[in-house]
Amino acid sequence: MPNKAHHELNRRSWNAGTKAHNSHKGDQAAFFRAGGSTLFPEERRLLGNIASKTLLHLQCNSGQDSLSIARHLGARVTGVDISDEAIGFARRLSRESSIDAHFVRADIYDFFEGHDERFDVAFSSYGAICWLSDIQAWGRGVAGCLKPGGRFVLVDFHPALLMFDEGWRLNEDYMGGVVCEYDSGVGDYVAMTGVAAGVDSLEPGITDFHNPFPGVEYKWGVAEIVTALIDAGLTLRHLQEYAFSNLFKPFPDMRDIGGLRFAAPAHLPQHIPLMFSLVAALKP
Ligand SMILES: C[S@@+](CC[C@H](N)C(=O)[O-])C[C@H]1O[C@@H](n2cnc3c(N)ncnc32)[C@H](O)[C@@H]1O
**pLDDT per residue as tens digits for the range 41-67:** 999 999 999 999 999 999 999 999 999
Confidence of residue 254 (pLDDT cuts 50, 70, 90): very high
pLDDT for residue 22 is more than 90: yes
Which atom of ligand 1 is closest in space to residue 108's alpha carbon? 20
Average pLDDT of the chain is 96
The whole-angstrom distance between residue 75's C-alpha and the CA centroid of its chain comes to 18
pLDDT for residue 194 is more than 90: no
pLDDT for residue 198 is more than 90: no
Q: What are the DSSP calls for 49-89, one per residue?
A: --TT-EEEEET-TTSHHHHHIIIII--EEEEEES-HHHHHH
Is 243 within 8 Å of 273 (Cβ atoms)?
yes
Output the CA angle 267-270-276, nearest 5 degrees: 140
CA distance 275 to 268: 17
The per-residue pLDDT for 201 is: 85
Q: Is any ligand 1 atom within 6 A of the Cβ of residue 262?
A: no
Q: What are the DSSP calls for 116-133, one per residue?
A: ---EEEEEEESS-GGG-S
pLDDT for residue 192 is more than 90: no
pLDDT for residue 196 is more than 90: no
The per-residue pLDDT for 108 is: 98
pLDDT for residue 195 is more than 90: no
pLDDT single digits (tens) 124-181: 999 999 999 999 999 999 999 999 999 999 999 999 998 999 899 999 999 999 999 9
Q: Is any ligand 1 atom within 6 A of the Cβ of residue 126?
A: yes
CA distance 91 to 55: 17
Name the packing angle between helices 135-144 and 222-231 (round to 10°).
Answer: 40
Please give the share of the chain, as a percent, with pLDDT higher than 90: 93
Contacts of 8 (CB under 8 A, 6+ apart): none
pLDDT for residue 8 is more than 90: yes
Out of 37, 61, 154, 195, give the residue to mutate to test ligand 1, the one with the largest number of ligand atoms within 8 Å of its CB. Answer: 61
Which atom of ligand 1 is closest in space to residue 38's alpha carbon? 8
Mean per-residue pLDDT, 99-116: 97
- Domain 4-281 in CATH 3.10.180.10: no
**Taking the domains of the chain in order of start, what are their residue ranges?**
4-281
Q: Are strands 235-242 and 275-281 parallel, antiparallel or unpaired?
A: antiparallel
| Best CA proximity match to 91, nearest among 136, 58, 61 | 61
CA distance 259 to 12: 32
The per-residue pLDDT for 199 is: 83
Please give the share of the chain, as a percent, with pLDDT higher than 70: 100
CA distance 181 to 234: 31
Q: How far apart are the first and last CA of the chain?
A: 29
The per-residue pLDDT for 32 is: 96
